[in-house]
Structure formats: C-alpha cells, structure tokens
Amino acid sequence: MSWLLRRNMLPLHSNSLARRPFASPLPLPPASLPSPRETHIWYVVPDELKDASLLYQYMELLSPCERQSVLRMNGERLQKGALLARALVRTTLARYTDGRLSPKSFKFQKNRFGKPEVEWDKYDLWAPPPLQFNISHTSTMIACGVTLDLPIGIDIEEKQRKTSNNILSLAHRYFSPVEVAYLKTLADPECRQSEFIRLWTLKEAYVKALGRGFSGTPFKDFTIRLEASNSKQVTGELKSDAPSIVVEAVDDPGILMNRWQFALFELNNSHYTAVCMERDVKNPADGENNSLKLEVWRTLPFVEDECVTETDAVKNIIR
Amino acid sequence: MRKRGTPPNRALRARRPPEISPTVRSLPLAFSLSSDRSMASISGTVTATSVRPRLTSRAPVVKGFSGLKSVSFSIQRNGFPSVRLQAAPRRLRFQVSCAAKPETVQKVCEIVKKQLALSDDTPVSGESKFSTLGADSLDTVEIVMGLEEAFGISVEEESAQSITTVQDAADLIEKLVEAKSS
C-alpha cells in the first residue's frame, strides 16, 4: 500500500499523547460508506474538549489558509469553534477513505455559488468515494453531515435559543405566508418559539442542500410543512401514514418538490437538527420506506467515537 | 462590487503612478470557514483594493496629497523618462467617497454587540466582519431587523446579502436614509 498516503497516520499509545503534544494522532477508525438514502452525522461538543494539546493536533490538520481564518475569529471561544469545525470536516471525511487519505490531505473548493465541496485528487489505483458534506455549528455543538454523492444540507440550533425580535415579526419578514399562518395558530409563546426555530433549521438545511446560498433561494419563496403521506400497500398490509416534511414553492403551491427529503430531530437533548438531502432517484426503493435514514455519531476526533443512532441522543425524529 | 479608494481621476490612472502599494483585502465568502454561519452574506468573492500612494524621496512633492498638483520625476540614470501626473482635484482622492459617518458606524457596532451578546470590551469596528464576530444567519437577519428599527429604513433582501462588515451595514443605512429623505 506504499503508493497511498499514510504519512500522517502513525499509531500511538493514548497515554503518550499527554507527554508528546505534537505527536501524530491515533488513526481514525474507518467507517462504512453511507448507503443511498442515508445521511451520516458526526457531531462534536466543544465543551467536552478538555485537553489543550488536542487543539494543537487539530491545528496541524488544517491548511495554512484555514489556520489564518481560524485565527481571524474574534476571541478564543470562536477560534476554538472554527478550529473544531475544520477538524471535524477533515477527520469525518477521512474515515470513509479506508485509511487511504489522512485528514490533512483533503483539499476543498467552492462551487460556483460558494458552497464548499471536496476537491478530489486523481489516484492511479483507487477511486475516492464521491462524498458530499455540509456543516453547521452553534457555540455548543458542531455537526457534519455526509452522504454518498447526494447534495446535503444540515442546520442545528440550540433548543433554548431566544430571538431578540418578536417571533411573528421575524416570520412575517422572512417566512412564507403558509408558515406564518401556521405559527399564528400556536397560542403558547414557548411552543411558537420552538416551532419557529425548528422551521428555521429546516429552511436553512434546504437552502444549504441546494447550495445556491441565501440570495439564490430566498426564505420567502418556499414553504416547508408537513404533508400526510400516502400509505403504501406492501404485501397486502397498509403502512402507517405518518406525515412527512415537504417543500413547495410559494408561487407553485401544491407542486411538491419531491427531489428533496428531510429529517428533523433533537440531538443530544440540546439542539434541533434539520437535514435535507436530495432523493436518490438512481436507486429507487421498491416498496420499502423511502424516507431519509440517519446514522449519528458523537465524536471527539482521535479520542472517542460513539454511535448514538438508537439512543436518547437522537429523538423525536420527523421525516 | 465596489472598489474602495479607487481614484476617480481616470487620467491619473492611465499614467504610471509613483510607488503605489496596493493592499488587497478579501471580503468573506459565502460559506466561510465558520461554516454556515455567514449564510446571509452570499456574494461570491469580492476583492477590495485600497490604494495608498507612496511617493519616493526622489520625487519632489509640491504639496501634500490633498493638494497634489503635479509630481515630476527627474530622468534616472538608467534612462527612464520622467513621469508627469495630471493636476488632481483638491480634495483627498484616495478615500472612499461615500463612507458612512462615524456616528452611524458606532450605532451599528452597538446593535451588533447587543445581538451577539458581546462584552463591552470586545473590539468591534467598521472593519469587523459579522462572521468573525460569530454571527450566524439568524443573527444576521436579526441585526438587519434591529438596524431597520433603529434607523427607520427598510432593507431589501438583495442588499442585506451584500452586507458582510459593520462598515457595509453603515454605508447601506446612510444610503437608504438619504434616499428616504430625498
């Protein structure tokens, strides 16, 4: 395997990390690629990072340009967040290359609208997986979503987030009429606030999945709502018709943009999380549930990974 | 796209300027490295060039920059021809002609600090970028709404997307306030 890049992947005993702060990190456990309708989410909780030497290790993974950007952030807390975000993207992507690519070796470019994507090198005897990713962060969590060859957008917001402006004022200004009407039906202010935040994350995730940016996809031009789905008949049984999240253009109500599928859930009991992914039309599901599948890991790169998919850390999932 | 400090005198630009040292500053991109947070500031790459002229000691300066009439270089040993610059307008040429008043910038800084819950001693100036201050897209729209309320203006979505620094916001506010009162 000598032609493959393994320079930055030297194994080390974990107890020597403290004594040798600039030593190479532990190798990342390889992860299986996401399947066609799957989004993998890796998230970091910055407060869990207690070891300062880890920050140096993460810094080593970044390109010079990324390092400069991190250092330009205003204050230590924001710098740490920016650093963790880049480290999370790089380490997450590296996991899916079966040890062939180190986190440091990744290069990034922006599409013509400014959305970051991986710039893959050409290799002689190996085709890198066509991974697509998107990140989102708050001061208390950073999340990275990965798919195999499907556009993805992810957005997280703290559940407790309060807005300075009145919820309905914000909604009138930025949301579609259908969404405003929905929020108005909620009498309880706390309920209205949380629904606003959840709707915001869904709209953000959609715009980010499209990759055309805020101005390319103004919030006011589309509605995201729940739609009662048609029950599917599978071997004579009726499947439950749980409502699904759909998106439609304000100018074209009733024409659902079926190309996009969503998931909305609570992460780590602290954040509302929305994922928007393009539906995989190349691999249509025959008769089975066509909704977005999730696999979620909590991570502190090079220290600890924990799959939390079936746990309490991922709950209240709506798709 | 706006080039700051571009000299308005086209005749001056056509001639070779003496010892110009351009400083190029890149404004934040749509998806900056603080990830999605600068979602609202989608405008692609914008490069702002501020040009500060520096005259060599060999060039006799008739007056300061503000009253620069002409500068001529003596013929150098290696035979470069002398360069004469056109007479320039009396006002200071290498400044942004439509920069917002300091009070406006100050007010914007206050609103931004409040929205982002920054401490009083956090340095925020005209050059501060919303993304580096930690503003995400929801913060940015809240800041825009706060500015609309404070200044009695209405900001178009397209204009809001081009705001990436405090200075951008202040400049836009003054433009809108002026348009409103005219």
Q: Point out the least confidently predicted range of A252-256, B73-77, B165-169.
A: B73-77
Residues B124 and B131: their CA atoms lie apart, in Å, by: 12
What is residue A287's predicted lDDT score, i.e. its pLDDT? 53
Residue A93 CB contacts under 8 Å (≥ 6 apart), including other chains: A101, A103, A106, A118, A131, A133, A146
Residue B121 CB contacts under 8 Å (≥ 6 apart), including other chains: none
What is residue A23's predicted lDDT score, i.e. its pLDDT? 46
pLDDT tens-digit readout, A10-65: 333 344 333 334 445 567 888 999 988 899 999 999 999 988 899 999 999 999 99
Contact of B175 with chain A, judged by CB distance below 8 Å, is answered with no
What is residue A60's predicted lDDT score, i.e. its pLDDT? 95
Of the residues B136, B139, B168, B171, only one is catalytic, namely: B136
pLDDT at residue B23 tops 50: no
Mean pLDDT of chain A: 85
The residue of A164, A210, A212, A219 whose CB has the most chain B CBs within 10 angstroms, and thus the best one to mutate to test that interface, is A164
Inter-chain CB proximity B138 and A157 less than 8 Å? yes
pLDDT tens-digit readout, A207-251: 999 998 777 788 999 999 988 765 444 444 444 567 889 999 998
Q: Which residue does chain A place closest to B159, by CA atoms?
A: A215
Tell me the percentage of chain B whose pLDDT exceeds 70: 46
Two structure tokens written together for A80: 């740490």
pLDDT at residue B73 tops 70: no
Strand A244-249 with A260-267, pairing: unpaired
Stretch A96-119: mean pLDDT, rounded? 92
Query: Cα-flanking dihedrals φ and ψ of residue A45, to 5°?
Result: -105, 105
**Neighboring chain A residues of B43 at a CB cutoff of 8 Å:** 215
What is residue B1's predicted lDDT score, i.e. its pLDDT? 52
pLDDT bracket for residue B10 (50, 70, 90) = very low
**Neighboring chain A residues of B161 at a CB cutoff of 8 Å:** 213-215
Residues A144 and A228: their CA atoms lie apart, in Å, by: 29
Tell me the shortest Cα–Cα distance from A203 to chain B, in angstroms.
11
Residue A117 CA to chain centroid, in angstroms?
13
Tell me the shortest Cα–Cα distance from A237 to chain B, in angstroms.
43
Tell me the shortest Cα–Cα distance from B6 to chain A, in angstroms.
26
- Among A14-28, A171-185, B49-63, which range has the highest average pLDDT? A171-185
The DSSP letter of residue B130 is T
pLDDT bracket for residue A124 (50, 70, 90) = confident
Placement of tokens 């893959």 in the chain:
A120
Residues B20 and B76: their CA atoms lie apart, in Å, by: 18
Q: Which residue does chain B place closest to A112, by CA atoms?
A: B44
Residues A6 and A4: their CA atoms lie apart, in Å, by: 6
pLDDT at residue B101 tops 80: yes
Measured between CB atoms, which of A114, A155, A170 is closest to B29? A114
Q: Point out the least confidently predicted range of A150-154, A162-166, A277-281, B43-47.
A: B43-47
Tell me the shortest Cα–Cα distance from A232 to chain B, in angstroms.
37
Two structure tokens written together for A189: 């202010």
Two structure tokens written together for A152: 């993805």
Query: Cα-flanking dihedrals φ and ψ of residue B42, to 5°?
Result: -90, 110
ipTM of the complex as predicted: 0.81
Residues B100 and B90: their CA atoms lie apart, in Å, by: 21
Two structure tokens written together for B55: 């005259």
pLDDT tens-digit readout, B111-162: 999 999 898 888 899 899 999 999 988 998 899 999 999 999 998 877 777 7
Stretch A300-319: mean pLDDT, rounded? 93
Whether B136 is catalytic is yes
Mean pLDDT of chain B: 64
Provide the β-strand partners of residue A262: A276
CB contacts < 8 A (A, B): 99
Residues A86 and A205: their CA atoms lie apart, in Å, by: 19
Domains detected in chain A: 3-7+37-318 (3.90.470.20)
What is residue A285's predicted lDDT score, i.e. its pLDDT? 64
Greater model confidence, A145 or A75: A145
Inter-chain CB proximity A164 and B30 less than 8 Å? no
Instruction: Determine contact, residues B108/B151, Cβ cutoff 8 Å.
Output: no
Q: Which residues of A touch B (CB under 8 A)?
A: 66, 69-70, 72-75, 78, 81-82, 85-86, 110, 113-116, 134-139, 142, 155, 157, 161, 163-165, 169-170, 173-174, 200, 204, 207-208, 213-216, 218, 220
